[in-house]
Amino acid sequence: MAGTLFRLLGLRTEDSRKLWVMLPVFYFAGIAELLSYTAFMALFNQRFGVQFLPFVYIAEAIIMPLEGWLLAKLAEKLPKAKLMRTMYLLMTGVLLVNGMILIGFKVGGWDYQWYYPILFISSNFVVRQLTLLLWSTAFDLCPTQQAKRLMPIFVGAATVGGITAGFIAQQVGRWSGTEVVYILAPLFLLIGLFNFRKAIARYLVPLTLKDDKQLHKQELAVQGEASALSGHYYKQLIKSPFLLCAVGLMTLMPALYFLMEYQYFTTTEKAFPIERDLTAYYGLIITIQFSASLLLQTFSGRLMNWLGASNMLLAISIVFMFGFGLSALFLGTGYALAVVSATYALFYILLYYTAEPCYQLFFKMLPINQRDGIRYVSQAIAASGGILLGALLSLLHSKGILSLDSVAIIGVIVALLLIVIAWFGRSLYIKELIKSVQSFQADFSEMAVAFLGGMRSTKMLQGVLEHLHNPNDYVREVALELIGKAKDSSYLPRLVKLVDDHNPRIRVAALRAMSLQKATIQELVQVASLLEDEEVDVRVECVRLIARAGHMQSQAHYFIRLKLLDTHPRVVAEAVKALYALGSEESFSACDEAIIKLLDNGGDWAVYGCRTVADLGLSSYSDWVMSLLEDQRPAVRVAAAQCLGRLQYDEAIGSLLPMYPMADQEMRKAIIQALIDMGDKGIAALMEGLQYPNPFIWDACVAALAHLLDEARIRETLVDSCIQRLQGSNQDRALSAAIAKLKMEGLAELAEQRLNEIRDVICDAAWVVLAKLADERVVQVVRESVQDKDEEIRENGLEVLAEGLGDRKLAYALLDMLKTSTDVLDHGEIADPRAVIVQAGLGSDDWLRDIAQHALSEEEQAVMPNEKKLLTMLDKVLFLKQVSLFSNVSVDELGLIAGITQEQVFPDQALLLRQGETNSNVYLIVDGHVELSLVTSNGGEGTIGVLGAKEVFGESTALDQSVSGVTAQAIFDEVRVLSLGGEGLARLIRLYPEIGIGLLHASSARVRMLESMLMKMA
């Protein structure tokens, strides 16, 4: 049942734990918030007088900046988690104190009239801040994508809490009095406190392990910057019509809401002179109001996507105008109570559940470094201004200047002003979007659609079309994106004119914006001319567009089939997919020939071939793709692995797993993703893979199974497997100490590195499993904390782990591993080093076995570079480890690099590089010396420098195979080098950027040597 419900709601397994912890908090807080609101408004209106409501709102508007300042100071003093707990307890305490005072009044028969404004202001503070606290807690605890899934459910829980509060207020208020209704609010908050504290301790505290330590310094710096920038924000706000429009909307809407709220309270006070009846009626309206809100939430998201935020704000403004119009018509009649109550309830829902999210899109247009500052300034102005304006308009009635229906007519006039501002806001948004296009990196088309809706406004689109002739290409691209969102074929003639544009990006954007649904054959021919464009991207986009011309299928088929003969594999691949999408069965045989050509040509052709087979799900090519796993080019192997995964060809698992230990980073990621893509079909083979003795193959199986298994099966299988590996990983710790005792320091360091890598990969698997049994962000932060250089942060992370994060047994085993891994084993403790080495030679890891056998051999590895024998693979790895370029590369990766190097020996005076000739290799000097020299244009000759062992040369020309600017010659004796081809070097730099940085440093040093030499020659 729960699983079915989760699927219907689009939830994932990792959501359930957080959901069950936080749902009670939102539910009970929703009850508490509405109970306190209902009670204090009834008490204030009956015992102090609704005519004084405007004055209290004015006082509240004055107090709000001070409230914000005090809360900001509190935030500076307290860590995040403690701040949230303090705020929750503070609000519970405020309600509890007020409740006790009210009960005291009731029991003692006392009454103090001037207490009720204090009750109003303090209770309204709780209502306002409790909502903010709950939303901020939810967003802090949930990563962005999880928040999108869970927030609607949290909102629903709070809404159901409001409905429950309405029922409670009706019954309790009628039979026990308003004071009892109020005192129930803090009691419900106390019920939710247990889950609130649990959520903070389980999810937020670990996330702030690092932040809390530096919080004070950062906030002091931010405070100093904020004081300097606040004036700038105000100036920027005043200069921008767009931002002034936003502030106008954010001010007038709350002002109209407060004015309607005043009408509601005035009308209900007259209708229910008895306090208990008034409280019960408030409860009834809240029940109806939140039931309607819950119903609205089921389709509000789709409505927002359809209309867009701008049209939603415009629609809300129109509803506000009609609401005040109805109030003006029916006030003084028998329908006044029903009309005003319904209007108030609708205004509340529209303002707080619809308009508030729409406001935030205004600030998306701003640079991220200014966004929050201007948002806070704008919201501060709007909040105070809205309350003051609503209070002043209400005063017109409370002071007897105007009747209630006359004030309602003023509400209609203000709502008309609101409509005008909302109308102009849409066009201002487009201008601001176009003006700011070069300042940001965001997806403007998505932002525009979110604000403007489905771009169905002809006037709005005409404004966008004008920018197709803008001299700025970036502006034209954005305009084309916006037009494409409309999916309107009537704009095709305007767009076809852009097929001859000089900028290929504009041609691509124009093709993406086109719709061929009603295109004529002439227009199709014009578009098809781009199939011969010189730019590959244009041809690809043209194929995709023509494939969507369903009303001219035969013509589209003709044009696309021609592209099966294109000279670029990407175009051929797109043509194959287009023909399959058109269902052109008569071309399937030609498509098969094209796919065979893609797979058979190798290189980029094979890569696109694998992607095409995967996209179309052509399982008949599985065996062919399997053969590409043995291709010499890494990119082809990666594409083949990805394809086999998407085809769910589970027979490939037996080939993919053995490849994993010696694969590079890119290939490892591809293998893991392929295993995950296998889905349920691969689980059986992966479960068998858990028995592999090789820790890296075992790690790949754990990583894939952690994604494929549910939480129960993870606990049954992966937890025990991880614990066994963690506990058994310390058996080989003595190997490096034993080798060091035999005076083989280089080999001992290599052994120590390999042992650390094995421990790391086992710990990685344990962390992956824990992430599936607890919150992923929490696990990630704890993982980073236990590796932090700061001892305090590291100890705090270990303490969180010691509390049994995710799974108590696994957390304890991982904790023990992390603590023992820092212990250094003295080689003096090794009684029989040879016995230890022999034992290690029987282990499961290939590298440790090779290292052990190497250590037991009679030849001394320390003199390896001076001997005339060819270097073994392990010799190369030992040498590469000593080269600074490869100091941060793992043993497996050193093995990959060693595998693509060639050992070469040059006699004395031999030339390795010639000035003016092309060079395609990088050279690593194993032994000997190489002189770098240069002949200048005027015939002068000089030596730049002499390089020795472990130094590099040739890197500046190998990448692009350009001519060498220097001559490299062996001097003093023969030179032994390892050469690395430019293609292999380019891939190494892409996978390991630190190698590229090291080469850059080496080249810079050589340039300085050259400059020095030229200065001397001058």
pLDDT per position as a tens digit, 277-331: 888 898 888 888 888 887 776 666 666 666 666 778 888 899 999 999 999 999 8
- Provide the pLDDT for residue 318: 92
Q: Is residue 825 scored above 80 in pLDDT?
A: no
Query: What residues contact residue 30 under an 8 Å CB cut-off, 6+ apart?
Result: 157, 158, 159, 160, 161, 162, 164, 165
End-to-end CA distance of the chain: 86
- 719-728 helix and 695-708 helix, angle to the nearest 10 degrees: 160
User: What's the token pair of residue 461?
Assistant: 């689109």
- Provide the pLDDT for residue 946: 80
- Provide the pLDDT for residue 222: 44
- Provide the pLDDT for residue 754: 79
C-alpha to C-alpha distance for 677 and 584, rounded to whole angstroms = 29
- Provide the pLDDT for residue 439: 47
Cα separations in angstroms, 134 against 126, 138, 139, 359, 778: 12, 6, 9, 20, 19
Q: Is residue 609 scored above 90 in pLDDT?
A: yes
Phi, psi of 915 (to 5 degrees): -60, 130
Instruction: Give Cα 969 to chain centroid, integer Å.
Output: 53
C-alpha to C-alpha distance for 362 and 385, rounded to whole angstroms = 18
b vs e for 550-587, b when ≥16 Cβ sit within 10 Å of the residue's Cβ? eebeebbbebbbebbebeebbbbbbbbbbbbebebeeb
User: What's the token pair of residue 208?
Assistant: 């702030």
- Provide the pLDDT for residue 220: 40
- CA proximity to 263, closest of 387, 384, 403: 403
C-alpha to C-alpha distance for 104 and 388, rounded to whole angstroms = 34
C-alpha to C-alpha distance for 800 and 807, rounded to whole angstroms = 12
Longest CA–CA span in the chain (Å) reads 113
Please tell me the least confidently modeled range out of 215-229, 913-927, 996-1010: 215-229
337 and 268 Cβ atoms separated by less than 8 Å: yes
Q: What is the DSSP letter of 918?
A: B
Please tell me the least confidently modeled range out of 67-81, 284-298, 355-369, 439-453: 439-453
Residue 267 neighbours by CB distance under 10 Å: 21
Beta strands in 9-117 (DSSP E): none
Q: Is residue 371 scored above 80 in pLDDT?
A: no
User: What's the token pair of residue 780?
Assistant: 């990630």
Q: Is residue 88 scored above 70 in pLDDT?
A: yes
- Give CA angle at 38 (35, 40), nearest 5°: 100
C-alpha to C-alpha distance for 949 and 34, rounded to whole angstroms = 78
C-alpha to C-alpha distance for 482 and 447, rounded to whole angstroms = 10
Please tell me the least confidently modeled range out of 233-242, 518-527, 640-649, 689-698: 233-242
- CA proximity to 998, closest of 1008, 1009, 985, 982: 985
628, containing H or E segment: none
pLDDT band with cut points at 50, 70 and 90 for residue 822: low
- Provide the pLDDT for residue 89: 94
Tell me the three state secondary structure of residue 215. helix
485 and 454 Cβ atoms separated by less than 8 Å: yes
- 876 or 1018, which is more confident: 876
pLDDT above 90 as % of the chain: 21
